[in-house]
Amino acid sequence: MNALEESQVDRTTIDEIISRHRGKPGELLTVMEEIQEASEFKYLDKLSMDYLSSQTKVPLSQIYSVATFYSFFNLKPQGKHSIIVCRGTACHTKGSKTLLDDLSVLQGCKEALDSGETSFTTEDRLITVKTVACFGQCALAPVVAVDGIIYSNVTSEQIKKLLQHLQEDKKDENIRLY
């Protein structure tokens, strides 16, 4: 069994998260979000979901339904850095496909996204590239989120610069596109 087949979050942490939110509105979503955040690779692994189900008496099928319905949840290990490219109509017409092509320099990324995947993580787990249907910021197209920060009117030159910074793992430096 490799490390990713083991639970990514220990049971004590899951128990603490559950107890903090028991009986509160939105309990399941909040607990799932916190378990995902507690995971080193920012995803909900099967063993953690199994344990959550057993402790809350929420059927595993319901937990899995929530995890697959909301795009915020990840069922696969994520990279240290994330790049999320909007593929909505406005972003597409303003060049988001070109931005994805610029990211295809990451080995395996183009093949994964071309095959219909909406997410790709590099083998070294440094970068995850995702697409979303719409950020709802069409006037600022094309829009890209990097490590939770939204950038607007992103150009090829900017995304290449950003990718270079992430590959050099300069997270502590402020990444400025403008």
pLDDT, one tens digit per residue, over 125-151 is: 999 999 999 999 999 999 999 998 999
Mean predicted lDDT score pLDDT of the chain: 89
Q: Taking the mean position of all CA atoms in its chain, how far away is CA 1?
A: 25
Question: Between the CA atoms of 14, 15, 16 and 21, what dihedral angle is there, to the nearest 10 degrees?
Answer: 90
pLDDT exceeds 50 at position 102: yes
Per-domain boundaries in the chain: 3-69, 81-167
Strands 81-86 and 127-132: parallel
pLDDT, one tens digit per residue, over 24-62 is: 998 999 999 999 999 999 999 999 999 999 999 999 999
> What ranges make up the beta strands (E) of the chain?
81-86, 119-121, 127-132, 144-146, 149-151
Per-residue pLDDT band at 176 (split at 50, 70, 90): low
Residue, of 6 and 24, whose pLDDT is higher? 24
Q: What share of the chain has pLDDT > 90, as a percent? A: 69
Task: Report the helix count and the strand count for the chain, using DSSP H and E.
Answer: 8, 5
Backbone angles phi, psi at 75, to 5 degrees: -105, 0
**Which of 93, 117, 119, 114 has its CA nearest to residue 41?**
119
Fold entry, domain 81-167: Glutaredoxin (3.40.30)
Please tell me the pTM assigned to this model: 0.78
pLDDT of residue 3: 45
Sheet holding 119-121, edge to edge: 119-121, 127-132, 81-86, 144-146, 149-151
DSSP H helical ranges for 41-139:
46-56, 60-69, 89-93, 96-103, 109-114
